[in-house]
Structure 1
Amino acid sequence: MRELVFALEYEPGRNRVADALAEHPDSRVRSLSLHVTADRLWRVDHAIGTPAALDDVEAAFLDGDYYADCLATDDCGAAQTTRVLDRTDDTLVLYTDWERTPVCASVPHIAREHLGDGVLFETRHEGRHYTWRLIHSGVGDVSAFFDDVRAAVGDAARTELLRTTPAVPDDSRGEGSGRSGRLEPEQEAALRAAVEHGYYESPRAIDASELAEHLDVPRSTLTYRLRRAEAQVIEAHFADDEVGGSAVGRHPLNDR
């Protein structure tokens, strides 16, 4: 089994959910369940944020131009049903059932074609970044999968490979090394630059926009990489607790 993690960074105006989350930086959406067949897709998503943020996220899902992950740039004629399963002041749970047409494309359907049946999916949507985590057999053609994803996305989003590793942790990494061993190069570069330029000083010697300009990346990309790097560093710091059996259970994409 192998783990494949990548992110789509959507351009403004190309994905309603991404636009809604970009307007509300403290909000995010993660999948609770995602299932796909040759012609259908079902998913349950959990969103957190302010009431205004959840209003915008709900509207993005309920409007007909979203089509539950369809990557088609024009109206593909798919039939979609989205229902609100639960709503509080700061949480929203949505169920979506999507019946695709021959011109539709989606990450799960492309994965099914190139990586086979039985692929497991987890998603996390923060700002314009839509992160996908796939667990697959390792037998399929990952290169062809990415080629088709990039072709389907076109200029609507930038695709960034974050990790492709065996799904089972390697004991040779040693105790206390953290769940995924080490930071991705892009995350490490962002974190190192933030430290070197005084981003974590109080008061800060540089703000996120200036640091992003120094690294020649969009501000949203920088803040996303820093958040993921910070989360992984914290996990690694407390990983020793797992050895003593005192760790609190974690979900791989838990963002609560």
Structure 2
Amino acid sequence: MREFVFALEYDPGTNPVADVLEANPETTVRSLACHVTSESLWRVDHATGSQAGIEALESAYREPTYCADCLVRDDCGADCETQPLDRSSDELVVYTYWDRTDVCTSVPHLALEYLGEGLLFETYREGRRYRWRIVLGRDAPVGDFFDALGDEVGECAGMEILRLTDLDPDREEDDADKSLPAEQRAALQAAVEYGYYETPRRTDLSELAEKLDVPRSTLSYRLRRAEATLATAFVADDSLEWDETIAAGR
């Protein structure tokens, strides 16, 4: 098995959910489930963020012209059902289902067509960036799929391949690194590379955001979330070592 990770970057006005997430950088959406057949698609998403961001996101999901994951910019005529399953001031769980028409297409439908059945999908949305992770067979034609996706996406979104790797169950990976989304890891790596953490700093947040071509507020949020994750993991590891020292009587 392999994992293929790529990202779409929606232009303003082409996707209502992306517009809301851009305006509310503290709000993100992660998939809990995604299933596709040749005729339909259903998914469950979990959003977290500010109260204003959650309210705006719920409204975006309910827009009549919005059909989750459909890549057709004009009205495709699909029968789309969106239903909140759970709602609080800072969380939203949404179920979406739609029946495909002759003109409908989506990332999962293209994956089913080019990569075959038995695929696993995981998604993460932050700002205008929509990251996809697909677990697929070793011999699946990833290049053909990505070319077809580019044809369907057209000019409404940018595309970036993040990685294509074999899944190795024996490979050890740092727990904190696993918990960091690719966007946060990339932000940290760039911050270190351009001297953001040096004293004095070689670059400030605005300059770094310009280099990465992301809004300053989005970059700030990614760095804060990444730093919080790493700090929490560090303190947890340090506490564990201290407990082990006490237990050993040292």
Confirm or deny that 1:194 pairs with 2:200: no
Q: Is the alpha carbon distance of 1:89 and 1:150 closer, same or farther for their aligned partners in structure 2, counting shifts above 3 Å?
A: same
Deviations 1:146-192 (A, max 9, x none): 01111111111111111110122454xxx5666989x9x99888645
Deviations 1:194-253 (A, max 9, x none): 23544235886633321233xx4412499569948x859x67x969x99xx99xxxxxxx
The answer to whether the 8 Å contact 2:24/2:127 transfers is: yes
What CA distance in whole angstroms lies between the structure 2 residues aligned with 1:205 and 1:18? 32
Secondary structure in 1 aligned to 2:73? coil
Structure 1 or 2: more helix by fraction = 2
Confirm or deny that 1:141 pairs with 2:141: yes
What CA distance in whole angstroms lies between the structure 2 residues aligned with 1:200 and 1:192? 11
Question: Which residue of structure 2 aligns with residue 11 of structure 1?
Answer: 11
- Letter aligned with residue 32 of structure 2: L
Secondary structure in 1 aligned to 2:154? helix
Question: Which residue of structure 2 aligns with residue 253 of structure 1?
Answer: none
Shift of 1:92: 0.5
Secondary structure in 2 aligned to 1:122? strand
The answer to whether the 8 Å contact 1:27/1:49 transfers is: yes
Deviations 1:105-133 (A, max 9, x none): 10000000111001000100001110001
Residue 203 of structure 2, aligned match among 200, 203, 206: 206
Secondary structure in 2 aligned to 1:219? coil
Question: Which residue of structure 2 aligns with residue 219 of structure 1?
Answer: 214
The answer to whether the 8 Å contact 1:208/1:219 transfers is: no
Q: Is the alpha carbon distance of 1:43 and 1:180 closer, same or farther for their aligned partners in structure 2, counting shifts above 3 Å?
A: same
TM-score (norm 2): 0.80
What CA distance in whole angstroms lies between the structure 1 residues aligned with 2:88 and 2:184? 34
Question: Which residue of structure 2 aligns with residue 249 of structure 1?
Answer: none
The answer to whether the 8 Å contact 1:169/1:179 transfers is: no
Question: Which residue of structure 1 aligns with residue 112 of structure 2?
Answer: 112
Shift of 1:143: 0.6
Segments of structure 1 that go 5 or more residues without pairing to the other structure are 247-256
The answer to whether the 8 Å contact 1:69/1:106 transfers is: yes
What CA distance in whole angstroms lies between the structure 1 residues aligned with 2:125 and 2:208? 23
- Letter aligned with residue 214 of structure 2: R
Shift of 1:66: 1.7
CA RMSD of aligned residues (A): 3.7
The answer to whether the 8 Å contact 2:122/2:134 transfers is: yes
Deviations 1:9-44 (A, max 9, x none): 111111111000011000000110110000100101
What CA distance in whole angstroms lies between the structure 2 residues aligned with 1:197 and 1:113? 42
The answer to whether the 8 Å contact 1:190/1:225 transfers is: no
Question: Which residue of structure 1 aligns with residue 54 of structure 2?
Answer: 54
Percent sequence identity over aligned pairs: 50
Question: Which residue of structure 2 aligns with residue 38 of structure 1?
Answer: 38
The answer to whether the 8 Å contact 1:208/1:222 transfers is: no
Structure showing greater Rg: 2
Confirm or deny that 1:124 pairs with 2:121: no
Question: Which residue of structure 2 aligns with residue 99 of structure 1?
Answer: 99
What CA distance in whole angstroms lies between the structure 2 residues aligned with 1:186 and 1:35? 24
Confirm or deny that 1:63 pairs with 2:63: yes
Give aligned pairs, total: 237
Q: Is the alpha carbon distance of 1:141 and 1:62 closer, same or farther for their aligned partners in structure 2, counting shifts above 3 Å?
A: same
- Letter aligned with residue 162 of structure 1: L
Judge which range, 105-114 or 135-144, deviates more. Answer: 135-144
